[in-house]
Amino acid sequence: MLKRMIKKSSLAACVAAVSMLAMSQSVLAVDLTVYTAVEAEDLARYAETFNKDHPDINIKWVRDSTGIVTAKLLAEKNNPQADVVWGLAATSLLLLKSEGMLEPYKPRGVEKLDKKFVDKGAVPTWVGMDAWVAAVCYNTVEAAKHNLEPPKTWSDLLKPMYKGHLIMPNPNSSGTGFLDVSSWLQMFGKKQGGWDFMDRLHKNIARYTHSGSKPCKLAAAGEIPIGISFAFRGAKSKAQGAPIEIIVPAEGVGWDMEATAIIAGTDKLEAAKKLVDWSITRKANEMYNTGYAVVAMPGVARPVEHFPDNLLEKMIKNDFEWAANNRKAILAEWLRRYDSKSEAK
Amino acid sequence: MSAPAANLTNRSAAPLIRPKTSKDDRIMLGFILVICLYLLITLALPLYAMLSKSFSTFAFDLSNFEFQVDAGDGWSEPLSAETLNQRLNKFSPAELATSSDGRLGVVDLFPDFSFRSPTMYRIRQVNLKSSFLFGSERVADTDWHEYSSNDFRRIVLRPSASIGLENYRTYFSTPSLFHSIENSLWIATLSTIITVSLAFGFAYALSRSTMRFKGIFRLIAMIPILVPSLLPGIALVYLFGNQGMIKGLLLGESIYGPIGIVIGSVFFTFPHALIIIATALAISDARLYEAAIALRASRWKTFWTVTLPGARYGLISAAFVVFNLVITDFGLPKVIGGGYNMLAVDIYKQVIGQQNFEMGAVVSVVLLIPALFAFTIDRIVQKKQVAQLSARSVPYEAKPHRQFDWICLIYCSLVAIFIVGLIAVCQYAALIKFWPYNLSLSLANYNFEVMDGGGWDSYINSIQLGLYTAVAGTLVVFIGAYMVEKINGFATTRSAFQFLAMMPMAIPGMVLGLAYIFFFNDPANPLNSIYATMGILVICTVTHFYTVSHLTAVTALKQMDREFEAVSASLKQPFYRLFSRVTVPVCLPAILDISIYLFVNAMTTVSAVIFLYSPDTALASVAVLNMDDAGDIAPAAAMGMMIFYTNVGARLIHQFVSRNLVRRTQAWRVA
């Protein structure tokens, strides 16, 4: 056993030596550490497309879910490890911005983007890539079993027939959940109307999940007829053959965007700027369009299969700054109202 | 594997004649100090860092902000926000306590504020201890900044840091947080009662009946140790979820919540309780039973007056072990808890969901209390235990009893069906293409590359972690145990070491993991470079499972007479020669047991490593959790089963190696 171990470790040493040799050959290239929350399956494609134009920059991806990447960046505040963030929620980037962690930079060609997708600072600190839009996943098979009608609006979801048939992410552990809550507050009234809506919705909710994609996947699997989630997830599940419809409620839907920013203090500023410049080009926007129906550059997006086509017009005028500056207060209020009783629902 | 805990109590009495400290002893002392230092750095210091984090508070320091207003008649005198607040009585001190990302709008301090008015506002900070935001632009200087009323409403104040008890005050005044204490205690107590009763019945059947298939039952009962604690949760979703195969059995109750957590907890704690109780029941004196028969005591009476009292320490010990496992477990309530809050999940929600590290630290301290409490009681009870088995004892041998044997067989079969059933459901779910709409079999769920969680790499990483942990952990643990058992003198150092070695058992994995973030992720820490590497995962896992390994080693070493040392010293042989030529070969079975224990636990652990893995070191057990979290439940079951088969394989290799080595090195045992 021990001998085998020694053999194994000397093998590991050989592998290490070889890989170091391999690395020293590409010594001319710059390594950029890029933090991201983009879906795992898209990363290789993004890097490959980028490298066609910039073969001299190596992207070292550090990928995790939005919450964990944000926690990681904040934890490393005094000792940043990332050079660039490419593909993280704008809400998270606002949080980093208010900690002074982002390097303001006006990328070449930023004026071609939809204004919604650019930070409003004098010199923008982040630029958007694509939108990530809330939607309702509706399982037609399970709904038929319970004699449900497809909801058309958010208010429809308050009807008694949906009681126990709804599921949504908990805003305290999911970015998608917060996006829903902040959009309802903006649509129905920040002081009163939004909370009234949620009070009544809460009565119909079977339970809250920790992640934003889970409600849609649970709806796709028939575990629950209706999941409040996001359109991208719904389209993917539908493409896999799940019996679901993606419903965009008529009042409008909340959204967040995936965005790009440079981490202040990086010693690879030139390469970082090149990446951010490229990330807003037409080519890059076409690349995002493969999965996302709404991208930052107007006129680029082609309809994506299974995505509802009225998505862009239904996106609300989202006040990210308000959402970021009131996030803590909103979450505390949500906890107080809907989480203080821990009854099993 | 927790069985050796029972043996700890009879610490060998110190030798009567103490030789002066020799060169050997000083070298051994050196080893002890090195391992002490290891435990200090990997356990005590991180916990200290976490404790101090829980006292690091954030509050809006209103005295640090000053305002001037110009309503058309020139700038007013500067007034601090504190003065304005006192005039209006707007914010109470409790409302001014916040967390590191707290924000406070300023317009509330100006009752006649209107964003349409032409009034101008100025704000400045007295010192640089805090900052404010204009929109999301951070301002951290002491200059005056001038804003129109329309811009002024976008100003929010940021808190400044200090030290105090505010976090605890916030915790205990937030119902959604402190209710978790009650929930956790309730679930842990209920699961403990059920598990210990079930395990007692099982152990009783194994030791007091002559039923068939005992060997198979023993094997089946150990299965839950080989899988992550959240795997039964996944199986329960398939059985009792809304699309569940037998959901009718729940009579309309939801599996998401206390019911699911308790059933799953019983599953994963069952073997731990069984090992301890079976050990306690095994050492019983047949003479007591003979006396009972002679006195014509009924079977029932004998059970209450002989069997149960004899096993009471085992039962208490098992109860505390189970209680501790349940209250500190994180994976299961996360998967199947629904809206039912438990302490361990709260830590995760605070840290990952809200990036509120300080509150995460507070919940960790709260979770530490019941765990430490259970641990201390268990230790005290263990000390009271006296040897039941004297030299004159006669081992009990069960006699055939047709009816009783049948009852035992049926009971054990039911438990076995429960255990095997849950595992089988997971395997079935992993092979189904798209539950419940397409029940054809496929391997698509094993295509981990397209899911969250790190793909097949995470599986390879887990095996690596298991091997590194087994090798490094066994080395450190066994050398430490040897030195501390066989050194002469240095009583204080020895007891300090024993104390440090017992500590990890009382520290929940979640708490250890979070403490590691605070300690190792600090840029000022010279050990910062191991953060986010495989190294920190190995260290964390070794430390997390140190106690049981240490106890196993100590038990094995105690069986070796100290005369070996005396003989070796009189032959002028250095201790390391004795160690390598005699001690290690003799203790080989225990050493192999320690390494398989560490390997299996490294494969299944979730709680300690959930905060520590990096994208390059994603682990299979964490992947199970993350895939379930993302809603990919079938792939999560598939990965869970990969862990199961790997551990079964490791166990088989372990058995094969042990048997061969034992035959070569332990011939004296058989003779």
* Confidence grade of residue B21 (pLDDT, cut at 50, 70, 90): low
Q: What is the mean pLDDT of residues A249-264?
A: 95
pLDDT at A147 over 70: yes
Beta bridge partners of A49: none
DSSP assignment of A321-345: HHHHHTHHHHHHHHHHHHTSS----
pLDDT in tens, B100-138: 888 999 998 999 899 999 999 999 999 998 899 998 888
Closest CA in chain B for residue A73: B355
A209 by DSSP, 3-state: which?
strand
CB-CB under 8 Å, B467 with A221: no
What are the chain B neighbours of A174 within 8 Å (beta carbons)?
Answer: 353
Residue B388 pLDDT: 61
Q: Hey, how many other C-beta atoms are within 10 angstroms of the C-beta on A147?
A: 7
Rounded Cα gap, residues A94 and B154, in angstroms? 14
Residue B323 pLDDT: 94
Residue pair B330/B494 in contact by the 8 Å Cβ criterion:
no
DSSP assignment of B193-241: HHHHHHHHHHHHHHHH---S-HHHHHHHHTGGGGS-TTHHHHHHHHHHS
Mean pLDDT lowest among A46-50, B96-100, B209-213, B465-469:
B96-100
Residue pair A70/A256 in contact by the 8 Å Cβ criterion:
no
What is the overall mean pLDDT for chain B? 89
Q: Hey, how many other C-beta atoms are within 10 angstroms of the C-beta on A114?
A: 15
A111 touches chain B (CB under 8 A): no
pLDDT at B548 over 60: yes
A327 touches chain B (CB under 8 A): yes
Which residues fall within 8 angstroms of residue A13, CB to CB, at 6 or more apart? Answer: none
CB-CB under 8 Å, B242 with A5: no
Supply angle C-alpha B562, B564, B570, rounded to 5. 110
Rounded Cα gap, residues B2 and A54, in angstroms? 57
* Confidence grade of residue A181 (pLDDT, cut at 50, 70, 90): very high
Residue pair B323/B477 in contact by the 8 Å Cβ criterion:
no
CB-CB under 8 Å, B523 with A174: no
Task: Please tell me the total count of domains within chain B.
Answer: 3
Residue B390 pLDDT: 67
Choose the closest CB to B179 out of A41, A214, A342: A342
A255 by DSSP, 3-state: which?
strand
Distance of CA B28 to the CA centre of its chain: 31
Q: Which residue has the higher pLDDT, A77 or A93?
A: A93
What CATH number is attached to the domain comprising B197? 1.10.3720.10
Q: Answer yes or no: do B39 and B152 share one domain.
A: no
Rounded Cα gap, residues A37 and B310, in angstroms? 57
Phi, psi of B315 (to 5 degrees): -65, -45
Residue pair A138/A249 in contact by the 8 Å Cβ criterion:
no
Q: What is the mean pLDDT of residues A336-343?
A: 67
Q: Any idea which fold A132-255+320-338 has?
A: D-Maltodextrin-Binding Protein; domain 2 (3.40.190)
Q: Answer yes or no: do B186 and B321 share one domain.
A: yes
A94 DSSP 8-state letter: H
If we measure between CA atoms, which residue out of A8, A1, A9 comes closest to residue B658? A1
Q: What is the mean pLDDT of residues B273-294?
A: 88
What are the chain B neighbours of A341 within 8 Å (beta carbons)?
Answer: 179
A213 touches chain B (CB under 8 A): yes
Rounded Cα gap, residues A88 and B285, in angstroms? 67
Residue pair B340/A344 in contact by the 8 Å Cβ criterion:
yes
Superfamily of domain A29-131+256-309, CATH level 4: Periplasmic binding protein-like II (3.40.190.10)
Confirm whether B635 is domain-assigned.
Answer: yes
Residue A249 pLDDT: 96
What are the chain B neighbours of A240 within 8 Å (beta carbons)?
Answer: 434
Q: Hey, how many other C-beta atoms are within 10 angstroms of the C-beta on B466?
A: 28
Q: Answer yes or no: do B81 and B182 share one domain.
A: no
What are the chain B neighbours of A173 within 8 Å (beta carbons)?
Answer: 348-349, 352-354
Pairing of strands B137-139, B438-441: unpaired
ω into B436 cis (within 30 of 0)? yes
Residue B662 pLDDT: 78
What are the chain A neighbours of B154 within 8 Å (beta carbons)?
Answer: 321
Residue A79 pLDDT: 79
Burial zone of B78 (CB within 10 Å; 0-12 exposed, 13-18 middle, 19+ buried): middle
CB-CB under 8 Å, B133 with A1: no
Which residues fall within 8 angstroms of residue B646, CB to CB, at 6 or more apart? Answer: B462, B463, B466, B603
Give CA separation, B586 vs A128, B72, B577, in Å.
Answer: 66, 93, 14
If we measure between CA atoms, which residue out of B55, B128, B68, B149 comes closest to residue B97? B55
Residue B5 pLDDT: 44
Beta bridge partners of A131: A257
| Final residue before a domain boundary, out of B445, B473, B488 | B445
Q: Which of A170-174, B527-531, B594-598 has the highest mean pLDDT?
A: B594-598
Give the domain range for residue B631.
3-7+23-52+464-670
pLDDT at B552 over 50: yes
Pairing of strands A205-209, B160-163: unpaired
| A interface test, pick of B136, B261, B448 with most A CB neighbours within 10 Å | B136
Longest pairwise C-alpha distance within chain B = 108
pLDDT at B9 over 50: no
Residue A23 pLDDT: 45
In the block, which residue shows the tokens 């590409």?
A26
| Single-letter residue type at A65 | S
Residue pair A125/A217 in contact by the 8 Å Cβ criterion:
no
Backbone φ/ψ region at A163: left (φ over 0), alpha (ψ -120 to 50), beta: beta
Q: Answer yes or no: do B31 and B65 share one domain.
A: no
pTM of structure: 0.87
Confirm whether B643 is domain-assigned.
Answer: yes
What are the chain B neighbours of A98 within 8 Å (beta carbons)?
Answer: 133, 136-138, 158
Residue B16 pLDDT: 55
Q: What is the mean pLDDT of residues B359-382?
A: 88
Residue B615 pLDDT: 74
Rounded Cα gap, residues B385 and B189, in angstroms? 23
Rounded Cα gap, residues A48 and B323, in angstroms? 51
Give how far B239 is from chain A: nearest CA, Å. Answer: 12
Choose the closest CB to A207 out of B101, B158, B256: B256
CB-CB under 8 Å, B521 with A76: yes
The count of C-alpha atoms lying within 13 angstroms of the C-alpha of B375, restricted to the half-sphere facing its C-beta, is 19
Residue A68 pLDDT: 76
| B interface test, pick of A36, A98, A216, A230 with most B CB neighbours within 10 Å | A98
ipTM over 0.85: no
What are B140's two structure tokens? Answer: 């951290």
In the block, which residue shows the tokens 């070493």?
B557
pLDDT at B430 over 60: yes
| Single-letter residue type at A296 | A
Q: What is the mean pLDDT of residues A154-180?
A: 93
Q: Answer yes or no: do B567 and B640 share one domain.
A: yes
Confirm whether B18 is domain-assigned.
Answer: no
pLDDT at A293 over 60: yes
A70 touches chain B (CB under 8 A): yes
Residue B669 pLDDT: 64
A192 DSSP 8-state letter: T
Q: Which residue has the higher pLDDT, B274 or B10?
A: B274
Confirm whether B16 is domain-assigned.
Answer: no
Which residues fall within 8 angstroms of residue A299, CB to CB, at 6 or more apart? Answer: none
Rounded Cα gap, residues B339 and A258, in angstroms? 29
Residue B290 pLDDT: 87
CB-CB under 8 Å, A75 with B517: yes
pLDDT in tens, B51-93: 999 999 999 999 999 999 999 899 999 999 999 999 999 998 8
pLDDT at A286 over 50: yes
pLDDT at A255 over 80: yes
A19 DSSP 8-state letter: H
Residue A13 pLDDT: 52
Number of H helices, E strands in chain A: 14, 10
What are the chain B neighbours of A45 within 8 Å (beta carbons)?
Answer: none
Rounded Cα gap, residues B393 and A219, in angstroms? 63
Distance of CA B350 to the CA centre of its chain: 18
Q: Answer yes or no: do B525 and B480 share one domain.
A: yes
Strands (E) in chain A, as ranges, are: 30-36, 57-63, 84-89, 102-103, 126-139, 166-169, 205-209, 226-230, 244-247, 255-263
| Angle in degrees, 0-180, between the axes of helices B534-544 and B588-604, rounded to the nearest 10 | 120
Pairing of strands B56-59, B160-163: antiparallel
What are B228's two structure tokens? Answer: 């992550």
What are A225's two structure tokens? Answer: 């007829």
pLDDT at A21 over 80: no
Q: Answer yes or no: do B641 and B659 share one domain.
A: yes
Rounded Cα gap, residues A328 and B609, in angstroms? 28
In SS3 terms, B39-64 reads as HHHHHHHHHHHHHHHHCEEEECCHHH
State what percent of residues in chain B have pLDDT above 90.
59
Confirm whether B189 is domain-assigned.
Answer: yes
What are the chain A neighbours of B338 within 8 Å (beta carbons)?
Answer: 207, 344-345
A300 touches chain B (CB under 8 A): no
* Confidence grade of residue B19 (pLDDT, cut at 50, 70, 90): low
If we measure between CA atoms, which residue out of B69, B70, B72, B71 comes closest to residue B81? B69
Q: Which residue has the higher pLDDT, A235 or A40?
A: A235
CB-CB under 8 Å, B629 with A210: yes
Confirm whether B347 is domain-assigned.
Answer: yes
- A residues 123-152 lying closer than 8 A (beta carbon) to B: 141
pLDDT at B440 over 50: yes
CB-CB under 8 Å, A5 with B259: no
| A interface test, pick of B171, B185, B354 with most A CB neighbours within 10 Å | B354
Q: Answer yes or no: do B93 and B48 share one domain.
A: no
Closest CA in chain A for residue B260: A344
Burial zone of B133 (CB within 10 Å; 0-12 exposed, 13-18 middle, 19+ buried): buried
A306 by DSSP, 3-state: which?
coil
pLDDT at A200 over 90: yes
If we measure between CA atoms, which residue out of A301, A195, A310 comes closest to residue A250? A310
Mean pLDDT lowest among A24-38, B539-553, B572-586:
A24-38
Mean pLDDT lowest among A62-66, A164-168, B435-439:
A62-66
If we measure between CA atoms, which residue out of B393, B364, B448 comes closest to residue B184? B364
Phi, psi of B388 (to 5 degrees): -90, -25
CB-CB under 8 Å, B242 with A223: yes
Residue A2 pLDDT: 43
Choose the closest CB to A41 out of B434, B450, B630: B450
pLDDT in tens, A23-35: 444 446 899 999 9
* Residue range(s) in chain A whose domain bears CATH number 3.40.190.10: 29-131+256-309, 132-255+320-338
Q: What is the mean pLDDT of residues A239-268?
A: 93
A186 touches chain B (CB under 8 A): no
Rounded Cα gap, residues A72 and A106, in angstroms? 26
* Confidence grade of residue B433 (pLDDT, cut at 50, 70, 90): confident
Residue pair A211/B631 in contact by the 8 Å Cβ criterion:
yes
A225 DSSP 8-state letter: S
CB-CB under 8 Å, A94 with B136: yes
